[in-house]
């Protein structure tokens, strides 16, 4: 027992290394994790005191635990068995496929990354690129929402800057969890987006197992009270106008909140309600407008560049700022519309002849988003140029005033409360973009850029009263 054993130096070092790793994994790492976990919990508790909607435990759950909970969900288990039978594969193979889908979908939310990094970055980007304006249609209704209700912000999709703007402007309410498409599944962007609480979805998956896993996650998120944000249109608007709602994610949320058509949930006080908050966005300058209008002309939704175009423009503007030649891209405005309770909506249509609660809900939400769309100088000027052709700056100001008065129910934004400045700001951007040209004292719409003019005009066209169109035609 007391004999000396000689070992090569490399083997001795290897033994020490294994011993150190074993000690750390059994004694040190758990203590360190517990220490930081306790600090994080205290930080989140302090943060929740400042938020209107505290971060729910669902969002703070460990990603591994959430994946396990998802793949062992009874609905997913049945879908795994059905998929294995349909494809003629072993159950364990189908189960591993469901696990891959769950790992693909489930985010890894970090309160530290979201509130210390993402919010600051979103605030800086938003105010660096645009002059940001925020409005409400019914702020009092937002304050009266049930404390345990699940909030779902539903938005029109004008630009990839929508994510940034709404994250910044909703920061005092809660942490948002976005549904993000496959375009963002690139490293390291995907890691950052997961840390922000976003979940990835496949837009055109025909795999029923995948849809069942996604539906199960949406159900758990809705029942867990996770605040979410989604675009009912499903993608960016190619022509600037509001599109028909796509019912995929909306249907999953409805199934989670009203599984029997709304009758049970509308009368059960113990069930968590789902409240949809319409959010309407508009811009004087959409960074991707040329890409979107080109895709509209081509008749397809495949873009050569999406978020990359936004980042390239941001970097170029940073260079202009560093060289003293920077000007912001006009105004960006966000309005929060009238909230809609899923329980109340389901109860109100109990006697309706319509067979689809999701379809009716989608139409109602898009209607509420549409009525809240901000009217900004460039969209208003673009609509007038398409309608009337060439005009002087004085005529533009006069017609903007008349149009604003006739759009009494819309949220018309006049920068600095001055129509003269609004017309000047609109002309500055339209001239810079080449959408109008100046000849003497008149400004003329450029024929080659009419699709861009229409892109901005379409964003507010639904708000122009029919009486205005009839009066002008006669």
Give Cα 216 to chain centroid, integer Å: 20
CA distance 472 to 41: 62
Q: Is the pLDDT of residue 9 over 60?
A: yes
Q: Is the pLDDT of residue 72 over 70?
A: yes
DSSP assignments along 208-275, one per residue: HHHHHHHHHHHHHHHHTT--EEE-TT-S--SSSS--PPP-HHHHHHHHHH-TTTTHHHHH-TTSPPEE
Domain residue extents for the chain: 105-372, 375-473
Q: Is the CB of residue 314 less than 8 Å from the CB of residue 190?
A: no
pLDDT single digits (tens) 94-118: 999 999 999 888 888 777 778 777 8
Q: Is the pLDDT of residue 174 over 90?
A: no
- Say which residues have a Cβ less than 8 Å from residue 241's Cβ, sequence separation at least 6: 458, 459, 461, 462
Q: Which of 203-207, 216-220, 379-383, 406-410 shows the lowest mean pLDDT across its residues?
A: 203-207
CATH architecture of 375-473: Orthogonal Bundle (1.10)
Q: Is the pLDDT of residue 10 over 60?
A: yes
Domain 105-372 top-level CATH class? alpha beta
For the chain, give the percent of residues with pLDDT over 70. 78
CA distance 92 to 203: 26
Query: pLDDT at position 453, please?
Result: 95
As a whole number, mean pLDDT of residues 56-61 equals: 73
The alpha carbon dihedral of 335, 339, 342, 344 has a sign of negative
pLDDT single digits (tens) 182-194: 665 655 556 667 7
Query: pLDDT at position 256, please?
Result: 77
As a whole number, mean pLDDT of residues 370-381 equals: 93
Axis-axis angle for helices 248-257, 208-223 (nearest 10) = 50
């Amino acid at each position: 027992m007391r004999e000396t054993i000689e070992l090569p130096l490399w083997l001795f070092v290897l033994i020490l290394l294994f011993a150190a790793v074993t000690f750390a994994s059994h004694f040190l790492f758990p203590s360190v994790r517990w220490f930081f976990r306790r600090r994080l919990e205290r930080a989140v508790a302090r943060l929740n005191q400042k938020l209107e909607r505290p971060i729910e435990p669902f969002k703070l759950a460990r990603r591994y635990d959430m994946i396990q909970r998802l793949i062992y969900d009874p609905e997913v288990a049945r879908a795994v068995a059905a998929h294995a039978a349909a494809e003629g594969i072993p159950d364990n193979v189908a189960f591993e496929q469901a696990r891959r889908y769950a790992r693909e979908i489930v985010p890894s939310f970090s309160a530290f990354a979201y509130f210390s990094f993402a919010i600051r970055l979103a605030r800086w980007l938003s105010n660096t690129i645009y002059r940001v304006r925020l409005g409400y249609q019914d702020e009092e209704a937002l304050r009266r929402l049930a404390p345990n209700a699940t909030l779902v912000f539903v938005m029109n999709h004008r630009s990839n800057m929508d994510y940034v703007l709404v994250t910044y402007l909703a920061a005092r309410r809660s942490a948002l969890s976005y549904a993000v498409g496959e375009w963002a599944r690139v490293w390291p962007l995907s890691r950052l987006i997961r840390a922000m609480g976003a979940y990835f979805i496949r837009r055109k998956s025909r795999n029923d197992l995948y849809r069942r896993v996604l539906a199960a996650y949406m159900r758990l998120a809705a029942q867990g009270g996770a605040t979410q944000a989604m675009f009912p249109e499903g993608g960016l608007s190619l022509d600037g106008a509001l599109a028909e709602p796509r019912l995929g994610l909306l249907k999953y949320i409805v199934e989670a909140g009203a599984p029997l058509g709304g009758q049970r949930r509308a009368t059960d006080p113990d069930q968590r309600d789902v409240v949809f908050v319409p959010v309407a966005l508009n811009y004087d300058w959409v960074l991707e407008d040329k890409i979107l209008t080109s895709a509209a002309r081509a008749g397809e939704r495949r873009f050569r560049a999406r978020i990359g175009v936004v980042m390239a423009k941001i970097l170029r503007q940073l260079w202009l700022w560093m060289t003293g030649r920077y000007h912001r891209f006009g105004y960006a405005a966000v309005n929060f519309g009238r909230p809609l309770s899923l329980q109340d909506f389901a109860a109100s249509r109990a006697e309706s002849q319509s067979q689809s609660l999701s379809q009716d809900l989608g139409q109602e939400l898009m209607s509420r988003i549409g009525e809240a769309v901000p009217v900004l100088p460039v969209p208003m000027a673009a609509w007038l140029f398409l309608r009337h052709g060439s005009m002087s700056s004085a005529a533009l100001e006069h017609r903007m005033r008349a149009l604003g008065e006739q759009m009494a129910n819309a949220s018309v934004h006049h920068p600095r409360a001055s129509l003269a400045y609004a017309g000047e700001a609109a002309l500055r951007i339209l001239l810079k973009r080449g959408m109008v040209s100046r000849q003497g004292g008149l400004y003329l719409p450029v024929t080659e850029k009419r699709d861009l003019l229409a892109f901005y005009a379409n964003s507010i066209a639904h708000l122009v009263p029919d009486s205005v169109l009839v009066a002008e035609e006669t």
